C-alpha cells in the first residue's frame, strides 16, 4: 500500500519538472550561474528582529555594534572573531525571520554557555529544526544555527522567495540567550550586485573612450573621403561642359617685324611695296616728294637767267646759274602735303587688316629710308656742280615711288 502511495506522490513532482523543462528550453543548454552571498545581521533587507509574537513588547533584541555596545547583556564575546564585529543578542521569547531568494541558506551565530533553545521553521517546505548548545565552552564562533538546501525554484528554474522564522525558548539547562551573527545564501549570479572595483571601473571607462574615439575617427575619415569624391566629380563635370578649359600649355609666338626695303634708282615701285599693319589694321605711309617738270622761264620752280647775274633759287648752291639760260628744277626738293600723298602701301590695307602677324613700321626704318634719300640728293647736287657751265641740262633725280603721271 505504501509503495503505491509513494509512486502517486512522486507524479506531481515529475510533471512539474517536465513542465519546467518544456517551458524554458534555453536553460537546458545553459545552467543558471549561482553564487554565495554573505548577509550581515545589520542588513534589514533580509533580517527582521521583532518582539514576542511579532510585537515590539519586551523582550527585544539588543543590536550590538562597536559604536553601540550592550552593557546590560550577560554575554560579552570578543569582537575579533565576529563577522563585521556586530551581532544581535536575544532572550527567551525573542523572535526573528530571514527572507531571501535562493536555493540554499546557512544561518550562523555564537554559541555560549547556557544558550537558549532556538526553533527554526521553513514553511514552504514544511521544515522545522532546533538548535541548542550543551558543551562547556564559553564562546564558539561561526556556529551553524540553521541550514536548508535544494530549495524549490520557479517554473523556469530561477530561485524563488523563502522565509525562515525562529523563536528562542528555554533550554534544558535553563539557557535563555542566543547571539545571531550573519547568514549565507546561494543566489543567482545576476541577483548579486557587488560594487565594482576601481580597476574594473577604470577599464570600463577606458574601453568606452576607445570605442567612442574609434567611431568619431571613422566618421571623420568617411566625411573627408566623401568630400574628395564630390570635388573630383564636379571637376570632371566642368571639363565635360567646357572642353576648351583644359590645362593646356600656352606656347609663345615669336614677334616678327618687317622693314620695307629701300628702292634704288630704276626699281619698280610695285615690286617693293611692303605692307606693315598694326593690330588695329592701321597703315603708316612714307612721305612722298612731289616732283615737278623742268620749267624754262615760267613754272612752279624758280628759274635763273641773264648774263652775268647770280642765280637766286631754293635748293641749289650759288654759282650754278649762267648767262646761257641754264635752268635748275628744284621743285623735287619740296615735299608735298601729307594729305596728297598716295602710299604704295595703301593697296595692301585689306591684306594687312586680315593679317594680325604683321607689325608696324619701326621709326628706325623710316629714318634709314630718309637718310638714304638725302644721300641720293646730295650725290645728285654734287654731280650737277661738276657739270661744265653751258653744257647740257641738269639731270633730275630718280623718280620717287608712287609718282603721279
Could you tell me if 359 and 276 are in contact, meaning their C-beta atoms sit under 8 angstroms apart? yes
Minimum mean pLDDT range among 43-52, 96-105, 392-401: 392-401
Cell (9 digits) for 49: 528582529
Q: How many angstroms separate the CA atoms of 7 and 258, rounded?
A: 133
Burial profile 204-228: b = 16 or more Cβ within 10 angstroms, e = fewer: eeeeeeeeeeeeeeeeeeeeeeeee
Residue ranges per domain, the chain? 31-188, 270-386
Q: How far is C-alpha 222 from the geometric centre of its chain's CA atoms?
A: 8
For 86-153, what is the HEC assignment? CEEEEECCCEEEEEEEECEEEEEEEEECCECEEEEEEHHHCEEEEECCCCCCCEEEEEEEEEECCCCE
Cα–Cα distance measured from residue 39 to residue 132, given in angstroms and rounded to the nearest whole number: 22
- What is the tens place of the pLDDT at every residue in 320-337? 444 444 455 555 555 554
Taking the C-alpha atoms of residue 163 and residue 290, their distance in angstroms, rounded to an integer, is 145
Q: Which residues contact 180 (CB under 8 A, 6 or more apart)?
A: 41, 47, 49, 87, 88, 90, 96, 107, 109, 145
- Closest alpha carbon to 101 in 37, 55, 58, 156: 37
* pLDDT for the residue numbered 126: 93
In Å, how far are 89, 237, 257, 273 from 345, measured between CA atoms?
138, 51, 16, 6
CA distance 111 to 137: 8
Do residues 140 and 78 make contact, with C-beta atoms less than 8 angstroms apart? no
* DSSP secondary structure code for residue 84 in this structure: G
275: pLDDT strictly greater than 70 = no
Q: Are 358 and 257 in contact (CB under 8 A)?
A: no
Nearest residue to 97 (alpha-carbon basis) of 81, 117, 66, 118: 118
Please determine, for residue 50, whether its predicted confidence score (pLDDT) is greater than 90.
Answer: no
- Distance separating alpha carbons of residues 12 and 244, to the nearest angstrom: 94
Question: pLDDT by residue (tens digit) across 235-246?
Answer: 888 777 766 555
139 or 361: which leads in pLDDT: 139
Q: Identify whether the C-beta of residue 383 lies closer than 8 Å to the C-beta of residue 395.
A: yes
- Mean pLDDT lowest among 75-84, 149-158, 203-212, 218-227: 203-212
State the pLDDT confidence band at 263, using cuts at 50, 70 and 90.
low
Asked if residues 352 and 277 have their Cβ atoms less than 8 Å apart, the reply is: yes
C-alpha cell at 146: 540553521
The three grid cell numbers given for residue 303, joined into one nine-digit string: 628759274
Domain 31-188 sits in CATH 2.60.120.260: yes
Residue 268 CA to residue 98 CA, distance in Å, equals 140
Instruction: Name the pairing type of β-strands 177-188 and 104-112.
Output: antiparallel
Three cell numbers written together for 307: 648774263
Average pLDDT value for the chain:
70
pTM of the entire predicted model? 0.43
Amino acid at each position: 500500500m505504501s509503495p503505491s502511495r509513494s509512486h502517486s506522490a512522486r507524479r506531481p513532482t515529475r510533471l512539474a519538472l517536465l513542465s519546467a523543462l518544456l517551458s524554458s528550453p534555453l536553460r537546458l543548454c545553459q545552467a543558471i550561474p549561482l553564487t554565495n552571498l554573505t548577509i550581515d545581521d545589520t542588513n534589514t533587507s533580509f533580517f527582521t528582529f521583532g518582539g514576542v509574537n511579532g510585537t515590539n513588547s519586551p523582550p527585544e533584541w539588543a543590536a550590538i555594534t562597536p559604536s553601540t555596545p550592550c552593557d546590560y547583556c550577560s554575554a560579552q564575546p570578543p569582537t575579533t572573531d565576529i563577522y563585521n564585529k556586530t551581532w544581535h543578542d536575544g532572550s527567551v521569547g525573542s523572535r526573528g525571520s530571514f527572507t531571501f531568494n535562493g536555493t540554499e541558506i546557512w544561518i550562523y551565530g555564537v554559541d555560549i554557555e547556557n544558550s537558549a533553545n532556538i526553533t527554526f521553521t521553513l514553511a514552504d517546505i514544511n521544515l522545522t529544526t532546533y538548535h541548542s548548545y550543551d558543551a562547556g565552552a564559553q564562546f564558539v564562533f561561526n556556529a551553524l544555527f540553521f541550514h536548508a538546501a535544494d530549495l524549490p525554484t520557479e517554473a523556469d528554474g530561477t530561485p524563488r522567495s523563502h522565509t525562515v522564522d525562529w523563536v528562542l525558548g528555554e533550554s534544558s539547562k535553563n539557557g535563555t540567550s542566543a547571539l545571531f551573527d550573519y547568514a549565507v545564501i546561494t543566489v543567482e549570479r545576476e541577483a548579486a550586485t557587488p560594487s565594482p572595483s576601481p580597476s574594473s571601473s577604470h577599464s570600463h571607462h577606458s574601453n568606452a573612450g576607445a570605442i567612442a574615439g574609434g567611431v568619431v575617427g571613422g566618421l571623420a575619415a568617411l566625411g573627408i573621403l566623401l568630400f574628395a569624391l564630390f570635388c573630383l566629380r564636379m571637376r570632371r563635370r566642368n571639363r565635360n561642359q567646357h572642353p576648351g578649359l583644359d590645362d593646356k600649355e600656352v606656347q609663345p609666338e615669336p614677334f616678327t617685324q618687317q622693314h620695307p626695303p629701300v628702292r634704288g634708282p630704276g626699281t619698280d615701285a610695285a615690286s617693293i611695296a611692303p605692307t606693315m599693319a598694326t593690330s588695329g589694321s592701321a597703315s603708316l605711309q612714307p612721305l612722298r616728294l612731289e616732283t615737278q617738270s623742268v620749267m624754262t622761264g615760267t613754272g612752279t620752280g624758280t628759274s635763273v637767267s641773264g648774263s652775268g647775274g647770280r642765280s637766286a633759287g631754293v635748293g641749289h648752291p650759288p654759282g650754278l646759274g649762267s648767262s646761257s639760260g641754264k635752268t635748275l628744277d628744284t621743285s623735287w626738293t619740296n615735299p608735298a602735303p601729307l594729305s596728297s600723298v598716295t602710299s604704295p602701301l595703301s593697296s595692301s590695307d585689306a591684306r594687312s587688316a586680315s593679317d594680325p602677324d604683321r607689325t608696324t613700321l619701326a621709326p628706325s626704318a623710316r629714318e634709314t629710308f630718309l637718310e638714304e634719300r638725302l644721300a641720293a640728293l646730295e650725290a645728285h647736287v654734287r654731280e650737277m656742280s661738276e657739270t661744265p657751265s653751258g653744257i647740257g641740262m641738269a639731270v633730275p633725280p630718280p623718280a620717287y615711288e608712287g609718282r603721279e603721271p
